Amino acid sequence: MTDELQEKIIWQNINSSKEKGKILNGKIIAIEVEKMKGNDITCAIVDFKGIKILIPATEITNDSKNDKKLLRNMMGAEIKFIIVEVDRVSEKTVGSRLKALQRLQEINIKKVEVGDIIYAKIIGVWKKYIRIECLGMDFIIKAQDLQYGYIDDVSKKYKVNEQIKVIIKEISAEDKTIKISVKDLLEDPFKNIRKDFTEKGEYLATITGYTDNGIFANIAQGVDTVCTLPTWLDRPPFPGEKVIIKIYKIVPEKRKIYSSLVKIMGSDANEW
């Protein structure tokens, strides 16, 4: 296929999107401020097969404003959009992600039922939550709703464009909305917690963060303990370090395990 023919096909797709609402796909590669109708508009720059598509920040999500904060965390995301304006002379092509989502939502909500397990795509990652696209709808999933246990930084575990499983919890045909869950697909590690851990037992753990009175330490997938530090300790353990902790109280109904630090692995400090 010649370059000329390939470019012709690309523009046919763009024009089809403008005239017939065809949904296109592209990747957010930059953020620029463009002059539109006399106003400075913050835009996501989307690469569509080598053609620069401008999508105003306000056309990316329902809750976005004319600023760069949201777009920075969506950089690299592959998104769907519909062309709303084409000017071959100035080579300015404007799209809308919201219009594409609206069409997808109307189509896809009829295809699913409560209890269905489907894949959603991560389109934005922050420290404490992710934004996912599912059936033409965006959802904010907070760290505590992604998995059991403590997550210090969501962006270290999840990446833009990754697929994530969700289960459909509710469907409102009238409002054309759904409720989904990531966490409900996971087994609750506290269900049989006393079979896996005992009070006065000592366990290898990994430091995950700090509290006002001590540290968080992970002792199993989805199981964290609030660990107090001994007075003899010359320094607190660092996130990621291996330690030995001693459990002194398990409270399953509150999903709490209390412990104390026994030893920092590899440290010469006195042991408790």
> Model confidence over 213-256: pLDDT tens digits?
789 999 998 999 999 999 888 888 999 999 999 999 999 999 99
Name the CA radius of gyration of the chain, rounded: 25
> What was the pLDDT predicted at 26?
97
127 has a pLDDT exceeding 70: yes
pLDDT digits (tens, 9 = 90+) for 149-194: 888 899 999 999 999 999 999 998 777 889 999 999 999 999 999 9
pLDDT in tens, 25-68: 999 999 999 988 888 999 999 999 999 999 999 999 988 888 89
**pLDDT computed for residue 234 by the predictor:** 85
pLDDT of residue 66: 80
Backbone angles phi, psi at 214, to 5 degrees: 170, -135
Mean pLDDT, residues 108-130: 95
pLDDT over 70 (residue 269): no
pLDDT-derived band at 270 (thresholds 50, 70, 90) equals low
pLDDT at position 252: 93
Q: What are 241's two structure tokens?
A: 């370090």
Q: Given a cut of 80, is residue 200 above it in pLDDT? A: yes
CA-to-CA dists, residue 52 to 1, 34, 69, 163, 177, angstroms = 21, 13, 21, 26, 32
97 pLDDT above the threshold of 90: yes
What average pLDDT does the segment 89-106 reach? 90
First to last CA, the chain: 73
Looking at residue 210, its pLDDT comes to: 86
Alpha helices in 21-121 (DSSP H): 69-73, 97-108
pTM of the shown model: 0.82
The pLDDT assigned to 32 comes to 96
Contact 46, 29 (CB under 8 A): yes
Whole-number pLDDT of residue 272: 54
pLDDT attached to residue 244:
96
